[in-house]
Amino acid sequence: MDKLQHKRAQELKTVTEMIGIYCRDIHKTDGINLCSECQELLDYVEKRVAACPRMEEKTFCSACNTHCFAPNRRERIRMIMRYSGPKMIFHSPILALKHKLTEWFAI
């Protein structure tokens, strides 16, 4: 797996975990099998990450100049990340640490 593919996979893994946390807590699912609304959003995110023209140079979508998400979906994912972000350290500490290190050091 090359660096770009690894970066895409890591980003998807993080977003999948965050959506799972949100869906489990808010929509009362098991966090693995998402509700239809959260699954639809995850499918959308997967398509957008796969088609991202700036994946090599950006750290995260929030720091990118090109917004690939439609405004309503961008706001939805922001809401999910605000909710799930603080909980990541308890649910997936290694993933949370990798995410923070990438943010701080742009690795």
CA dihedral 75, 80, 83, 87 (to 10 degrees): -150
- For the chain, the domain total comes to 1
Q: Tell me the pLDDT of the chain averaged across its residues.
A: 86
58: domain range?
Answer: 3-105
Model pTM score: 0.87
pLDDT at 107 over 60: no
Mean pLDDT of 88-105: 81
pLDDT exceeding 90 applies to what percent of the chain?
47
Q: What is the pLDDT of residues 21-72, one digit of tens each?
A: 999 999 999 878 999 999 999 999 999 988 888 777 766 676 677 778 899 9
CB 1 within 8 A of CB 9: yes
